[in-house]
């Protein structure tokens, strides 16, 4: 007999209406003593039939109930109706301990990226990929360094969690909601009533930690919920620093010649300088030489970095900065300064405006300064 058949029989024969058979049999039995003659046979038959039918229905109900309990893997129970199960025995059953082997694979692992301001880490969960984006890697749309989060089942889109000197936003169509995330008082920004947030300023004090997404229209609500749970695990350890990084300062730009200077690939032994002319100018070409000046911040005072040799000089080659273009220069100062210790530094280059009529005349001079940080315990 199948479980479904047992349930059907139990539903039929456990009905209280079948107990009326027992009542009918009892009344017939009493009638046997009242009725005389041949008519007494009728109540006798009714009594016998009623008792037999009741015994059969009770047996079928009990058998069906027993089978249902066995199929469910339980102790036999009495079914009063289809919504109430009453155990025959209430003796406590000792539960078997749950094995931890099945949950070990579900534990989240820590993924991090180091940098000159501190280390950023998050807890990775199943179904997500996390990619490190170091300083100057070019992997981030915005920010200095950080982590890129992607759900493996999404067609496209990613969330970038990054460190930055200062995060600026436009207030047009922007709604901001204060929340608690990753132990910080965070601010969730949403533009133009978008269905999901556009950015979350997780840590608002410099250096700032921000989460921002791109091209996530195909994401499901579950993916957004999982993303927020991952962001809630963001940790920023400012005591664990490494590498080097350039910092923007107003002295890095001169609007008179429409030129900006920045640095990348900062190491204790050198860096790369970028000069970019971002607007047209009517005067002559800008030129610069190999020379530069290096300073270190000591408390609140800028001091010249000490050289490791006494007699030295830069060559006099002249390099031309392309109009509305960019030029780069790799600088290695180990021969002059050695490897720099951890600290804050600035480097100054001088650009000169050439004379179209007399290329040998250079007037005037425009100094540009870029600031950078070398982190770590030993400057290596």
- Tens-place pLDDT, residues 202-238: 999 999 999 999 999 999 999 999 999 999 999 999 9
Confidence of residue 15 (pLDDT cuts 50, 70, 90): low
Cα distance from N-terminal residue to C-terminal residue, the chain: 79
- Output the pLDDT for position 146: 98
Please identify, among 55, 87, 119, the residue that sits at the C-terminal boundary of a domain: 87
Question: Does 74 have pLDDT greater than 50?
Answer: no
Q: Which of 167-171, 276-280, 300-304, 353-357 has the highest mean pLDDT?
A: 300-304
Asked if 230 and 120 sit in the same domain, the reply is yes
Whether residue 179 is contained in a domain is answered as: yes
Whether residue 380 is contained in a domain is answered as: no
Expressed as residue numbers, the domain containing 330 is 244-374
Asked if 231 and 167 sit in the same domain, the reply is yes
Please identify, among 218, 237, 256, the residue that sits at the C-terminal boundary of a domain: 237
Comparing C-alpha atoms, which of 63, 95, 60 is closest to residue 76?
63
Whether residue 124 is contained in a domain is answered as: yes
Q: Choose between 190 and 25: higher pLDDT.
A: 190
Asked if 110 and 232 sit in the same domain, the reply is yes
Domain count across the chain: 3
Question: Does 62 have pLDDT greater than 60?
Answer: yes
Asked if 136 and 75 sit in the same domain, the reply is no
Return contacts of 166-171, CB within 8 angstroms, 24+ apart: 166/206, 166/208, 167/199, 167/201, 167/208, 167/210, 169/199
Whether residue 94 is contained in a domain is answered as: no
- Output the pLDDT for position 318: 83
Residue-by-residue DSSP string for 278-299: -S--SS--EEE-S--EEEEEET
Would you call 372 exposed, middle or buried from its count of C-beta atoms within 10 A (0-12, 13-18, 19+)? buried
Query: How far is Cα of residue 134 from the mean position of the Cα atoms in its chain?
Result: 17
The CA distance from 165 to 206, in Å, is 6
The CA distance from 118 to 181, in Å, is 19
Q: What is the mean pLDDT of the chain?
A: 81
Sheet architecture: strand order including 174-181:
128-133, 145-151, 158-164, 208-214, 199-203, 184-191, 174-181
Beta bridge partners of 79: 85
Phi-psi region of 186 (alpha: psi -120 to 50; beta: other; left: phi over 0): beta
Query: How far is Cα of residue 319 from the mean position of the Cα atoms in its chain?
Result: 46
Asked if 42 and 131 sit in the same domain, the reply is no
Asked if 287 and 310 sit in the same domain, the reply is yes
For residue 198, what is the domain's CATH number? Answer: 2.60.120
Whether residue 10 is contained in a domain is answered as: yes
Whether residue 223 is contained in a domain is answered as: yes
Please identify, among 215, 237, 259, the residue that sits at the C-terminal boundary of a domain: 237
Average pLDDT over residues 142-151: 97
For residue 365, what is the domain's CATH number? Answer: 2.60.40
CA within 13 Å, CB half, 12: 13
Asked if 223 and 269 sit in the same domain, the reply is no
Whether residue 379 is contained in a domain is answered as: no
Asked if 116 and 224 sit in the same domain, the reply is yes
Question: Does 19 have pLDDT greater than 90?
Answer: no
Asked if 189 and 261 sit in the same domain, the reply is no
Confidence of residue 59 (pLDDT cuts 50, 70, 90): low
Asked if 181 and 115 sit in the same domain, the reply is yes
Asked if 255 and 310 sit in the same domain, the reply is yes
The CA distance from 349 to 314, in Å, is 12
- In the chain, pLDDT over 90 holds for what percent of residues? 58
Per residue in 18-46, is it b (16+ CB within 10 Å) or e — as a string? beebbebbeebbebeeeeeeeeeeebeeb
The CA distance from 103 to 124, in Å, is 15
Whether residue 92 is contained in a domain is answered as: no
Asked if 32 and 12 sit in the same domain, the reply is yes
Residue-by-residue DSSP string for 249-266: -GGGEETTTTEEEEEEEE
pTM: 0.68
Helix axes 41-71, 20-32, angle to 10 degrees: 160
Backbone φ, ψ for residue 337 (5° rounding): -115, -10
- Output the pLDDT for position 41: 72
């Amino acid at each position: 007999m199948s479980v479904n058949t047992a349930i059907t029989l139990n539903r039929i024969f456990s009905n209280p209406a079948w107990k009326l058979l027992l009542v009918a049999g009892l009344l017939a039995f009493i009638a046997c003593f009242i009725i005389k003659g041949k008519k007494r046979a009728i109540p006798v038959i009714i009594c016998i039939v009623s008792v037999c039918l009741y015994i059969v229905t009770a047996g079928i109900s009990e058998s069906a109930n027993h089978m249902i309990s066995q199929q469910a893997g339980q102790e036999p129970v009495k079914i009063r109706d289809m919504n109430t199960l009453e155990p025959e025995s209430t003796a406590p059953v000792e539960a078997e301990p749950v094995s931890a082997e099945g949950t070990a694979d579900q534990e989240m692992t820590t993924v991090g990226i180091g940098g000159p301001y501190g280390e950023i880490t998050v807890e990775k969960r199943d179904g997500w990929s996390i990619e490190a984006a170091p300083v100057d890697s070019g992997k981030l749309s915005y920010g200095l360094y950080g982590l890129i989060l992607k759900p493996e089942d999404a067609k496209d889109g990613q969330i970038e969690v990054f460190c930055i000197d200062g995060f600026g936003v436009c207030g047009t169509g922007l709604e901001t909601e204060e929340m608690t995330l990753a132990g910080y008082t965070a601010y969730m920004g949403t533009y133009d009533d978008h269905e999901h947030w556009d950015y979350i300023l997780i840590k608002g004090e410099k250096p700032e930690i921000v989460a921002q997404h791109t091209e996530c229209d195909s994401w499901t609500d579950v993916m957004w919920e999982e993303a927020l749970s991952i962001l809630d695990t963001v940790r920023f350890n400012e005591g664990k620093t490494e590498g080097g990084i350039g910092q923007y300062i107003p002295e890095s730009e001169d609007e008179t010649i429409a030129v900006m200077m920045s640095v990348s690939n900062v190491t204790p032994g050198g860096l790369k300088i970028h000069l970019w002319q971002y607007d047209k100018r009517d005067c002559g070409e800008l030129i610069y030489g190999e020379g530069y000046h290096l300073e270190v911040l000591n408390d609140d005072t800028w001091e010249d970095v000490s050289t490791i040799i006494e007699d030295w000089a830069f060559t006099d080659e002249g390099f031309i900065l392309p109009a509305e273009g960019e030029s780069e220069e790799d600088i290695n100062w180990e021969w002059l300064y050695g490897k720099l210790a951890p600290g804050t530094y600035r480097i100054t280059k001088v650009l000169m405006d050439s004379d179209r009529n007399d290329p040998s005349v250079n007037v005037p001079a425009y100094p540009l300064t870029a600031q950078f940080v070398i982190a770590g315990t030993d400057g290596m």
